[in-house]
Structure 1
Amino acid sequence: MFDELTDGDLQPVRAVPQPGRSAPTGGMSAAGGKLLNQYGSTTDRSAAVLLGANPNFSIASVGKRISGSLLDGVFSMVGMALGFGLMLAVYAVSGVDEEQAGEFSDPGFWAFMVGAIIPPIINAVLVSMSGQTLGKKLVGTVIVNEATGAPVGFTQGILQRTFVFGIFTGLPLIGIFVALADVVYLFIGDHQTLHDKYAKTYVVNA
């Protein structure tokens, strides 16, 4: 039986075009590309959609993201230093003794809180307006919605991404693991951290 096979019998079989469809070409079709992409990670596909719809976007590097966070940390420390200075000034003027220090009725405590909350308030306003904290403005990055590519607002950028996720990291026992996993994801793939995934955001170059 095998002796009867000819070279023509061994040629590849061409696909027969179906009505309403064009014949397959030598390159990979768009449908074939989509089929293969189904085996990629969900985040990779999300990033591809985001970058495809916004060709001018590029995912911010790990270095930029860390630099922005460090600058925001310095900004917060400046606020705390300001609050501490205000607290000392209030103590000096009012003559509050050490036993009262830290009580809710202590004016020095509230003076400290005023200084400490200035950076978070400023950053919340900046994120609501432009999707950028002060640190992100300085390094040239912006937080965007993963579906639309638009800068995030207060709800997505502050409530979901910072406040609610911060509650998760503050949970007893599991909070530390959530925080560690959040850092690990920064170094994977498109640098979408857990708090990015939860809020459905990306950090891109501005």
Structure 2
Amino acid sequence: MSFGDPNNPYGQQPPQGQPGHPQQAPQGVPPQYGYPQQPPQGAAPQYGYPQQTPPPPYGAYPQPGLHAPGMPGSGMPPLAHWGLRVGSYLLDVLIIAGPMYAVLGIGAAVSGDETGDTIAGIFSLLGMLYAIGMAFFQLYKEGTTGQSFGKKIVGTSVHREVDGATIGFGMAFVRKLAHILDGIPCYIGYLWPLWDEKKQTFSDKVCGTVVVKVNKAG
């Protein structure tokens, strides 16, 4: 019996379309059975484990606008009380004004003749340049990190109320100008954090900022 014998079942080729032997789909036509095809590149998968949402970065509110710092469930540091705010302000003023007046005092001490007056003028200019430069540097640090030197020493930090982000140099400058509002009505704006729920001054409310307690400088 040969392999070409029609009576030989081992030599026969199964006819196309016979049950049990599915035909291959023509090129370009998706199969109707078997394993599911992989989704096209860039398309979101339709099966498998669900994608995990990454956690919010440290310092951001879980739900912006719903939880203020220091409130239950906010996960944020507590609000800074009035005493800490006063302490940081006085330290910032001391860091700016202390060296400036020291240099001005040296200039005044050497004045009295033409040479001394020239030296005094140079010292006065240096003192003013230091005060202006340090004031702007303090604003830069406060806007980019949340902390001026005084805030870093006492352990406070200023952030946006809506999302806990730092306020940036521009808003730090505007916030400093807005302190004028705190001083207009008999300086009551500076005392407002004593009874305000969010411990904000008038400038904080205008600029949308809050001051929170953080770890002190090591």
- TM superposition score normalised by structure 1: 0.59
Q: Relative to 1, partners in 2 of residues 1:119 and 1:134: Cα closer, same or farther, differing over 3 Å?
A: same
Q: Which residue of 2 aligns with 1:72?
A: 92
Q: Relative to 1, partners in 2 of residues 1:114 and 1:85: Cα closer, same or farther, differing over 3 Å?
A: farther
Figure out how many residues of one structure are paired with residues of the other and give that number: 146
CA separation in 1, counterparts of 2:83 and 2:100? Answer: 26
Hey, which of these two has a bigger chunk of helix by percent? 1
- Does the 8 A contact of 1:87 with 1:111 survive in 2? no
CA separation in 2, counterparts of 1:83 and 1:47? Answer: 47
- Does the 8 A contact of 2:81 with 2:193 survive in 1? no
- Does the 8 A contact of 1:83 with 1:113 survive in 2? no
Greater mean deviation of Cα atoms: 109-118 or 82-91 = 82-91
Which residue type is aligned with residue 203 of structure 2? H
Q: Which residue of 2 aligns with 1:115?
A: 130
**Which of 165, 171, 174 is the equivalent residue of 1:160?**
174
**TM-fit CA distance, 1:84:** 1.0
**TM-fit CA distance, 1:78:** 1.4
CA separation in 2, counterparts of 1:78 and 1:108? Answer: 14
- Does the 8 A contact of 1:90 with 1:107 survive in 2? no
Which residue type is aligned with residue 80 of structure 1? M
Which residue type is aligned with residue 135 of structure 1? G
**TM-fit CA distance, 1:71:** 1.4
Which residue type is aligned with residue 96 of structure 2? S
**Which of 191, 207, 215 is the equivalent residue of 1:199?**
207
- TM superposition score normalised by structure 2: 0.56
- Does the 8 A contact of 1:87 with 1:112 survive in 2? no
1:129-173, Cα deviation, whole Å (9 max, x unpaired): 20111110001110000111012211112x21102x14556xxxx
Which residue type is aligned with residue 67 of structure 2? V
Q: Which residue of 1 aligns with 2:144?
A: 129
Which residue type is aligned with residue 210 of structure 2? Y
Q: Relative to 1, partners in 2 of residues 1:64 and 1:166: Cα closer, same or farther, differing over 3 Å?
A: closer
Q: Which has the larger radius of gyration?
A: 2
Q: Which residue of 2 aligns with 1:141?
A: 156
- Does the 8 A contact of 1:127 with 1:154 survive in 2? yes
% same residue: 27
Higher RCO structure, 1 or 2 (CA under 8 Å, sep 6+): 1
Q: Unaligned 5+ residue runs, structure 2?
A: 1-63
RMSD: 3.0
Q: Unaligned 5+ residue runs, structure 1?
A: 1-45, 170-174
Q: Which residue of 1 aligns with 2:68?
A: 50
**TM-fit CA distance, 1:203:** 0.2
**TM-fit CA distance, 1:55:** 0.6
CA separation in 1, counterparts of 2:143 and 2:110? Answer: 33
Runs of 4+ with deviation above 6 angstroms:
none
